[in-house]
Amino acid sequence: EAQVTQNPRYLITVTGKKLTVTCSQNMNHEYMSWYRQDPGLGLRQIYYSMNVEVTDKGDVPEGYKVSRKEKRNFPLILESPSPNQTSLYFCASSLGQGIGELFFGEGSRLTVL
Amino acid sequence: QQQVKQSPQSLIVQKGGISIINCAYENTAFDYFPWYQQFPGKGPALLIAIRPDVSEKKEGRFTISFNKSAKQFSLHIMDSQPGDSATYFCAPVSSGSARQLTFGSGTQLTVLP
């Protein structure tokens, strides 16, 4: 089954404790991206990757890091989480640039105390 | 930067009625115009999309209308059903860009039984 898998789905952590949210897709997609969803603000792009070893900032990259060492994986790293990073996070992938449909994961709800 | 403006923010419709959601954009380089549907606790999923070479596309009860000169496109849901209750996002994209995506702010649709 074609899918984008995120882990963990739910996480409660404390300020400053490094964490990683993993994202993996099994569709051989070149393009992958991360979004955060907050009430009243919709979906905002954090980082995106056009292909392996190619990443770029989205609209709200501060406080986040990403890496794309393999085509299928695109982890989101919070080196020193803060309460303002409490949010619902989505990973998504698509075939490539200009090839329309985005496939989203189920989401990871993060709470930073 | 507000490249994409979606309206209304929320919409309540009676079962069997017509739901209309609008998306206005500024970037004339956009060439793929999708609508995503998101149910609570789930990631967004592509509902319907249009390319600018046509002015309308219909899939079942869902229709996209595209007005290139006005730089806007709309989602029409005919014979709205309670199962259509969800949040809807527009997310136009340019295939010539580096694929930095901007989503509309979302429309929460409630269809009353």
Q: Is the pLDDT of residue B2 over 80?
A: no
- Whether B32 sits inside 8 A of A98 (CB atoms) is yes
CA distances to A91, A105, B62, B99 from A94, rounded to whole Å, are 11, 12, 23, 10
pLDDT tens, B9-56? 999 999 999 999 999 999 888 888 999 999 998 999 999 999 888 999
Q: What is the DSSP string of B4-41?
A: EEEE-SEEEEETT--EEEEEEE--TT--BEEEEEE-TT
Closest-CA residue in chain A for B10? Answer: A40
- Whether A48 sits inside 8 A of B101 (CB atoms) is yes
Cα Rg of chain B, angstroms: 14
Closest-CA residue in chain A for B100? Answer: A58
- Sequence letter at residue B75: L
Residues of A in contact with B34 (CB under 8 A): 100-102
Which string of b and e fits A37-63 if b means at least 16 CB within 10 Å? beeeebbbbbbbbbeeeebeebbbbee
- Sequence letter at residue A73: N
pLDDT tens, B78-96? 999 999 999 999 999 887 6
pLDDT of the residue at A97: 61
- Whether A43 sits inside 8 A of B89 (CB atoms) is yes
pLDDT mean for each 10 residues of chain A (113 residues): 93 96 95 92 90 91 96 97 97 78 94 96
- Distance (Å, whole) CA B48 – CA A68: 29
Total residue length of chain A? 113
Least Cα separation, residue A25 to chain B (angstroms): 14
User: pLDDT confidence of B100, banded at 50, 70, 90?
Assistant: low
- Sequence letter at residue B6: Q
Least Cα separation, residue A16 to chain B (angstroms): 27
HSE-up of residue B91 (Cα within 13 Å, Cβ side): 25
Closest CA to B76 of B64, B88, B66, B67: B64
CA distances to A4, A24, A72, B34 from A27, rounded to whole Å, are 8, 9, 8, 20
pLDDT of the residue at A52: 93
User: pLDDT confidence of B97, banded at 50, 70, 90?
Assistant: low
Cα Rg of chain A, angstroms: 13
